[in-house]
Structure 1
């Protein structure tokens, strides 16, 4: 993610900030500009400094401390929150806290989708989020994607609960943001592969998705695979071609967003027997998978060692083999083609 500054006093701020600690201004995010901005109240609107004194409203979820995005006058919800269909019972303080953390992860997801120029609106199969809580009544809710609907259990925002799930499933890595990135991978498989006439190319790289999904998952959990081998990014990716694509898509988002953060912070590395290496390209626009993977491997090696110095597990405990890089290349091509199509459609609509 890019770096942000308060547009009033230029204090460094982060994506989740709602108020500048230095000058006291309220802060809001402008998705169309990908900018955080200081705002001042004027009547029933807010004036945003970053848009030439443009008039905006905060997303309705701002009142619930669940969003810091701005939207146009007349809109109740921002670009990200208008995709919510279900949220948990916010009268329960624990549910409200978990929901707030869930919304934070969702906004980071949407930042990446906007940066990549991916299509978000689709009247035929809208992108919808159901955020559900385990009430203890009936069957436990499960996360997943189906026909544009992404279900996320808010309990995943609880560190102890999530760590328990990670250990029980033998996973080296598990985050709430990772779940969003994985499930959106399923959504874009439908949009970009199934609906984009890329099925044959997909099957050549990932395998035939027509094998029975339920049987494949059952077999995966029975075998309790922990070593993905050279062809897969994770053990779960081995279960079915759909999951392989979703895992690959999620890791692509992990990599480009973290590399952008490193670039924004001016991080440079000096790998053994090499000249100083910096992120000298825009990761979100990278087309050369080799540049992307090589730069990421050096950064991952550095941050993994920093984590170990603090007694923490590796930040990125995965291996990127040539076969996995080939899958990344497929995802990059899909994303870039889609972004060009969206841009062309927008240009035509403008005329």
Structure 2
């Protein structure tokens, strides 16, 4: 995620900020502009807001917005809704159709943390052209989310089925998530990672199944028609294949071709998001030998979908930099992975599909999705 700037005073601000610490302006994210903005009430008590700009630049200040209902009720969202949009929820919040019992205090904080991760993923998917950040007539675009809490005798399984992503809200508790990460031998288990992984199952339906690309998928990932529950049972009973590093981005990716795809998809979103962050700080690095000149990191969202090899050549040294910075603070590696040639080819497959979407739009959705999966 790149850094933004307050459009009133120019001070750096971040994606979750609601107030500029420099000038005191109220901040909000405007999905139709894909940008953070300083905003002010258009008229006291009207419930309408407009961009706050110096000199009253008419074109910039004319548009008006409403706060998302989840901001008004719970202070849980900083996205805004264009005035003409009839939906009371922002383009990200309207994707969530089921919430846990918010009368339980712990669930409100869990839900807030999950929505923060979801909005970050929403931003990346929108930047890649995989969903509309400003759908018309109050509609929504993208996967549907259900955030649920365990009940006595009714445990919640995180997973995806027919366009719906379900997440157990206990994953928002740091201690519980770390315990599961250790128990399941997953070095990278985060809320954002979960979101990206599960979105991969949704986009498998859209970009592979709906587009009739199963044959090319199977050449790289294997045959997804093999029994899914049986494959996961075998994985958890026997562990990953010994040579998983030679073919996959993670150990869990060996459990089934659908999981291989979802893990690869999540890695691709990690890649473009981290490179955008590095580019926003004007990061320069050496992508070749010690004698090579410094090269500026490319923002993959602002270059018309760069060549995949160019992304990889910058990705590797950026991850080495991030890991080195973590180690200097006594932390574990932020990116504990090494990508094999086979894993890179799978990442290239994802890259090429997204580039096709950028060029020609999303394929038409089939009447019914095909994959039901669980993390």
Provide the TM-score with structure 2 as the length reference: 0.87
Equivalent position SS for 1:39: strand
Superposition deviation, residue 341 in structure 1: 2.3
Which residue of structure 2 aligns with residue 341 of structure 1? 360
Are the aligned partners of 2:207 and 2:362 in contact in 1 as well (CA < 8 Å)?
Answer: no
43, 50, 58: which one aligns with 2:67: 58
Equivalent position SS for 1:32: coil
Which residue of structure 2 aligns with residue 142 of structure 1? 157
Distance in 2 between the 1:57 and 1:307 partners?
A: 40
Is 2:347 the partner of 1:328? yes
Equivalent position SS for 2:361: helix
Query: Which structure would you say has the larger RCO, counting Cα contacts within 8 Å and 6 or more residues apart?
Result: 2
Superposition deviation, residue 287 in structure 1: 4.1
199, 223, 237: which one aligns with 1:222: 237
Are the aligned partners of 1:119 and 1:342 in contact in 2 as well (CA < 8 Å)?
Answer: no
CA offsets 1:71-97 (integer angstroms, 9 cap, x no match): 122320111111111011222221101
| Larger deviation, residues 87-96 vs 178-187 | 87-96
Are the aligned partners of 1:26 and 1:39 in contact in 2 as well (CA < 8 Å)?
Answer: yes
Which residue of structure 2 aligns with residue 24 of structure 1? 24
Which residue of structure 1 aligns with residue 81 of structure 2? 71
Which residue of structure 2 aligns with residue 102 of structure 1? 114
1:1-351 matches, cutoff 5 A: 1-41=1-41, 42=43, 43-49=46-52, 51-63=60-72, 64-73=74-83, 74-119=86-131, 127-135=143-151, 137-225=152-240, 228-270=244-286, 273=290, 274-282=292-300, 285-342=304-361
CA offsets 1:102-154 (integer angstroms, 9 cap, x no match): 00000000000110001457x9x97210011224x123211000000000112
Equivalent position SS for 2:237: helix
| Unmatched tracts of structure 1, length 5 or more | 346-351
Are the aligned partners of 2:211 and 2:363 in contact in 1 as well (CA < 8 Å)?
Answer: no
CA offsets 1:16-71 (integer angstroms, 9 cap, x no match): 00111222211111112111011111222111247433110011111212110011
Superposition deviation, residue 281 in structure 1: 4.8
**Alignment root-mean-square deviation, CA:** 2.1
Equivalent position SS for 2:246: coil
Superposition deviation, residue 340 in structure 1: 2.2
1:341/1:279 Cα in 2 relative to 1: closer, same or farther (>3 Å)?
same
Moved over 4 A (4+): none
1:126/1:28 Cα in 2 relative to 1: closer, same or farther (>3 Å)?
closer
| Unmatched tracts of structure 2, length 5 or more | 54-59, 365-375
Superposition deviation, residue 344 in structure 1: 11
Provide the TM-score with structure 1 as the length reference: 0.92
